[in-house]
């Protein structure tokens, strides 16, 4: 059986605003899906030197300064800072780094963190995100390995992660997401620039897409890209807000489907995964987490039935041509 673990700490119940969508209740719901017997490791806050791998000094100082004032401040219409944000967000980044280190050492690990990170840009917080946890962890991993792959299956495009690595050829970024919703990025022609050209792959799917569509993108685009890139470690921006019952979702994924996607990645790369929590707000989130762990332990079959929709086939056709 494959070794796997989880990272969580009570610190992640802080940075809290009443009636805000991104809250500690959703995190507790996700934790309810962690199977018994999975070791749970306490997080360690990332030092500022790790934050600075991705974010500008002025941005880091801004978050620290707002937190030091106490009270609550909105950085945009849906992203806030309170007295504990700097320490909580630093711990989220540190937990992501630890999860990736554990995966490099041979253990699949899921970091249950908040605030999430994949929308955060080098000098900007947005979309509930403060520091870009996955990007910080990927940059830290490059101290130990040569190539990192990031698979982002959150409902929303990981614009921050894309921006950070857009000109890099040592990080492969693949995002599958609902198209034409927040943050209105992640189109097929966003493929990277300079030496990073071709190392960003976006699959913006129509609302109503199911596992047949996701599986088709993985089989025909993401997995061939992974096999060609041959990453030394794979990080998943694991937002489960594409579930059928998520209030933000227009997609039709069900909890076992996230087990299928996990199994596909493990089979394709033959290595442990590091998963970092992003979105996920619906009633079945915990069950999706349970299915992910089922696959992390090597107990899931990635096969399945169903045909992708014509629109998905068209997107895959475009992506194939762009990679030829």
Instruction: Sheet containing 273-277: give its strands across.
Output: 40-41, 4-7, 108-111, 273-277, 233-238, 148-152, 171-178, 200-205
Q: Which residue has the tokens 């690595």?
A: 165
Is 156 among the residues known to form the active site?
no
Alpha helix (H) ranges present in 110-206? 133-141, 159-165
> Under a CB-based contact definition with an 8 Å cutoff, are residues 293 and 35 in contact?
yes
Burial tier of 183 (Cβ tally within 10 Å: 0-12, 13-18, 19+): middle
DSSP string, 55-96: S-HHHHHHHHHHHHT-S-EESSSS-EE-TTHHHHHHHHHHHH
Annotated catalytic residue, options 15, 55, 118, 119: 119
Task: Please state, as a whole number, how many other Cβ atoms lie within 10 Å of the Cβ of residue 235.
Answer: 29
Which of 225, 304, 305 has the alpha carbon at shortest distance from 265?
225
DSSP string, 199-237: SEEEEEEPTT--HHHHHHHIIIIIHHHHHHH--SEEEEE
Q: Tally the C-alpha atoms within 13 A of residue 44's C-alpha that lie toward its C-beta.
A: 7
What is the bridge-based pairing of β-strands 40-41 and 4-7?
parallel
Residues acting as catalytic residues = 119
């Amino acid at each position: 059986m494959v070794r796997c673990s989880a990272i969580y700490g009570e610190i992640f119940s802080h940075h809290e605003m009443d009636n805000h969508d991104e809250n500690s209740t959703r995190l507790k719901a996700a934790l309810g899906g962690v199977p018994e017997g999975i070791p749970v490791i306490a997080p360690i806050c990332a030092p500022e030197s790790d934050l600075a791998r991705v974010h500008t000094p002025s941005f880091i100082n801004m978050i620290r300064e707002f937190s030091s004032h106490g009270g609550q401040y909105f950085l945009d219409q849906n992203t806030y800072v309170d007295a504990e944000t700097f320490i909580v967000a630093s711990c989220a980044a540190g937990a992501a780094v630890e999860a990736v280190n554990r995966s490099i050492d041979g253990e699949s690990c899921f970091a249950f963190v908040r605030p999430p990170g994949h929308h955060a840009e080098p000098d900007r917080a947005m979309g509930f995100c403060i520091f870009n946890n996955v990007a910080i962890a990927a940059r830290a991993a490059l101290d130990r390995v040569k190539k990192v792959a990031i698979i982002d299956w959150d409902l929303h495009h990981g614009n921050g992660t894309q921006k950070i690595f857009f000109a890099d050829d040592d990080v492969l970024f693949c995002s599958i997401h609902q198209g034409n919703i927040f943050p209105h990025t992640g189109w097929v022609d966003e493929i990277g620039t300079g030496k990073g050209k071709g190392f960003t792959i976006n699959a913006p799917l129509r609302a109503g897409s199911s596992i047949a569509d996701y599986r088709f993108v993985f089989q025909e685009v993401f997995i061939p890209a992974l096999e060609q890139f041959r990453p030394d470690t794979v990080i998943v921006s694991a937002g489960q807000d594409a579930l059928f019952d998520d209030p933000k979702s227009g997609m039709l994924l069900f909890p076992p489907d996230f087990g299928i996607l996990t199994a596909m990645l493990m089979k394709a790369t033959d290595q442990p995964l590091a998963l970092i929590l992003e979105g996920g707000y619906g009633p079945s989130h915990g069950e999706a987490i349970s299915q992910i762990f089922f696959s992390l332990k090597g107990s899931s079959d990635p096969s399945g039935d169903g045909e992708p929709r014509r629109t998905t086939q068209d997107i895959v056709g475009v992506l194939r041509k762009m990679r030829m």
